[in-house]
Amino acid sequence: MHTLIVYCHPYEMSFCHAMLEALIDRYEREGVPYEVIDPHADGFDPVLSRDELAVYNAGTALDPLVTRYQQLIAGANRLVFIFPIWWNDMPAMLKGWLDKVMLAGFSWEATGAGLKGTLTYIESAEVYTASSNPTAFIREQTGDAIQRMFIDGTLWQLGICHGTWENFGGMDLSTPEERAAFLDKLAGR
């Protein structure tokens, strides 16, 4: 199984970066082939320009990074997303990445009754996040955007039917031991 990790955090000292390192450690020990997309490190511009919007419905990518990302996705059968939850949702960089990369013809087709996802070769998507709010608060009080909108909405519409989400909630008040235990779990230790 070829795994593509989409890591979306601008700060290399973040807990999300530690999650990325834990997963990479696990994949390397287990011999899992993987690649990492890091839009921040790549200097990716998540804003759709006027020119990009003019060719959006044709599925045309004007940014060479979009073409590269699409090639990486096409070569994967598992996606892993790592990002912080900011204001109860994904960061703007990841939202913009989805807007620009998941183009018509590449990841979906219009049917007149909704979108038909074409990423059906992606067997599963795993989403790992960290948040200041406890996970129960995100699920029960703020609309459960990661599960309901991202996994059950966006990824499902793209043709990815199996998605899981694991959040390290309560980040700000967590202990070093709690953080280490979560990372050990991710690393398969």
* Amino acid 114: pLDDT: 87
Q: What is the pLDDT of residues 20-61, one digit of tens each?
A: 999 999 999 999 999 999 999 999 999 999 999 999 989 999
Nearest to 95 by CA among 60, 145, 169, 163: 145
Q: Is 10's pLDDT higher than 90?
A: yes
Any idea which residue has 């690393």 for tokens? 187
What is the extent of the structural domain holding 120? 3-187
Contact 22, 186 (CB under 8 A): yes
Residue 141: per-residue pLDDT:
95
First to last CA, the chain: 21
Query: How many CB atoms neighbour CB 97 within 10 A?
Result: 25
**C-beta of residue 160 within 8 angstroms of C-beta of residue 79:** yes
Of 148, 144, 122, whose CA–CA distance to 134 is shortest? 144
Q: Tokens 């960089």 belong to which residue?
A: 93
Average per-residue pLDDT in the chain? 96
Number of domains in the chain: 1
Residue 48 DSSP class: P
Please answer whether residues 5 and 80 qualify as being in contact, where contact means their C-beta atoms are separated by less than 8 angstroms: yes
Determine what percent of the chain is predicted with pLDDT higher than 70. 100
State mean pLDDT over 64-72.
Answer: 98
pTM > 0.95: yes
Mean pLDDT, range 71-98, rounded to an integer: 98
CATH assignment of the domain containing 141: 3.40.50.360
SS3 (DSSP) at 80: strand
Q: What percent of the chain has pLDDT over 90?
A: 96
Mean pLDDT calculated for residue range 91-120:
96
Distance CA 41, CA 48 (A): 19
Comparing CA positions, the residue from 39, 151, 27 lying closest to residue 96 is: 39
